[in-house]
Amino acid sequence: MPRVRRVGIIGIGKLGAALISGLLRSSLKNRISIVASDAIRERRDWASKTFGIECLATNGDLVRNSDVVVLAVQPGDAKAVLEDVRSHLTSRHLLVSVMTGVSMGFMARTLKKDLPTIRAMPNSPCAIGEGVTAIAAGEGVSEGDLSFVKGLFEAVGVVVTVKEELLNAVTGLSGSGPGYAYLTIEAMADAGVKVGLPKDLALLLAAQTMLGSARMVLRDKEHPAKLRDAVATPSGTTVTGIYELEKAGLRAAFINAVEKATKRAEELSLR
């Protein structure tokens, strides 16, 4: 029987809470124990009541009671939190960071020690189990540890593995991507209202259309252009609408958005 691994999550913000919730719903729940810490007492009390887990006031206590330490704090708090846990981390720990833009090199220099470390870039739909997470493994991470961490994030969505240098690009695309998707849904719904649809109905039609289309891309594993061509009949409504979108520069706007967001992620990175 596999041993139960103790997973400690530092930070009970939106992402930390989403991960806890997903893990407790997943098939991993009987193979792990979860403990969390947060500087804000109200968050600890809420998580303890909501999830039925132990929530600690200090990060040092959490590290001492964990095998896997997940850093789910804001990048601006990275240095302080790393310094706080430095003396408590040992070679037996596996470190997992979901701190945007905080490199493994920065973590190692701040901790003044090399630990098996994995960086992860999840996105906000993890809160409903529909996220996508890119993970990058550092030196010294075993295949078993990598597989375990993949399992953690598969509890809240899809997982891909990349090299660390690609994580800023991941941030620009899927990390920031929900914002682009929400803006697109909002714009489509506004267009529906403009042509006479009630606001609530227009929003439902726009959101469900985006959801269904995305699922078809993933299910059929076809290039989006092929699926697009299947609904764009000659001289029809779809091809007319697509022409207007292309004329307005929609494709270039998305490419520019991802490029600029990636560049901004690089500017904000702690190397």
Q: Which residues of the chain have pLDDT under 70?
A: 1-2
Asked if residues 69 and 93 have their Cβ atoms less than 8 Å apart, the reply is yes
- Is residue 225 one of the residues assigned to a domain? yes
Helix (H, G, I), strand (E, B) or coil at 36: strand
71 and 112 part of one domain: yes
161 and 179 part of one domain: no
- Is residue 133 one of the residues assigned to a domain? yes
pLDDT for the residue 197: 98
- Is residue 170 one of the residues assigned to a domain? no
pLDDT for the residue 217: 97
**Cα–Cα distance, 212 to 47 (Å, whole number):** 33
Least Cα distance to 93 among 33, 135, 141, 26 occurs for 141
Residue where one domain finishes, among candidates 129, 145, 165: 165
Domain count, the chain: 2
- Is residue 131 one of the residues assigned to a domain? yes
- Is residue 76 one of the residues assigned to a domain? yes
**Cα–Cα distance, 262 to 137 (Å, whole number):** 20
pLDDT for the residue 2: 57
- Is residue 86 one of the residues assigned to a domain? yes
156 and 213 part of one domain: no
Q: For residue 227, what are the CA distances in angstroms to 49, 201, 242, 245?
A: 46, 25, 13, 17
Q: Is the pTM of this model over 0.75?
A: yes
32 and 155 part of one domain: yes
pLDDT for the residue 4: 85
211 and 262 part of one domain: yes
**Domain assignment of residue 191, given as a range:** 175-268
